Amino acid sequence: MKNVLITGATGGIGSALAVAFAKAGCRVIVHTNSKPQKARQLCDILTESYGVEAYSVQADISDSNSVGKMFDQISERSGQLSFLVNNAGIAQQKLFTDITNEDWSKMRGINLDGAFFCCREALKRFMLPNHSGAIVNISSMWGQVGASCEVHYSAAKAGIIGLSKALAKEVGLSGIRVNCVCPGVVMTNMMKDFDETTVQGLREETPLNTLGTPKDIAEAVVFLCSDKAKFITGQILGVNGGFVI
């Protein structure tokens, strides 16, 4: 049975990822930082509904020491890791001149540093020694084109794209694939601060005239980790309904 670590797995996209990988027969490692009870509940659902082993780990992914301890737990309990999905992230809307040093550091720490730390541990401990594995980093369409009033978010997500492309070149000869998924407008808790008029406007700007679901993102990620995508690496897959073309 192949193991997958999903960071930020208690959120809307994260929980959909957990379900999708469980359906694919993977042992699911559910990461959380601040919602351990919700993570345990998700593990119970995965085991009861899909018959796979699932367990939770807790870490502040913006802290390299915390990430190291999380991977110690994975090493002790699972001994191997086939797939890593760097999904954890935060968003914030602010005028550029209002972004504080703390805002910038937190955005970079969770959205970019966390992916770096997790990739480093997964590669060193599991994937490089085994000459196999797949990593999918979750960016955003705003990492591709930028978003007004989300400069720090856009910058961090653009960093994810660069990390994915460069890392794919470096580890390809070791049999490891690295890809990036850039979601469009997806109805999750990150959208809770937008009023219906704004949401409707985003829907109308999307060529398919609909907004995405967490399941749309999850199915794309599972595909990229599967053998069906064995000749795909270093790619940026936009799952956005045509919002960014």
How is residue 209 written in tokens? 């005239």
Helices assigned H by DSSP within 173-242: 196-205, 214-225
Q: In Å, how far are 138, 167, 234 from 176, measured between CA atoms?
A: 17, 10, 10
| Cβ within 8 Å of residue 49, ≥6 positions away | 22
**153 catalytic per annotation:** yes
Which listed residue (115, 153, 184, 212) is catalytic? 153
Q: What angle do CA 107, 109, 111 make, to 5 degrees?
A: 60
Q: Which region, left, alpha or beta, applies to residue 231 given φ > 0 means left and ψ of -120 to 50 means alpha?
A: alpha
Question: Active-site residues: which are they?
Answer: 153
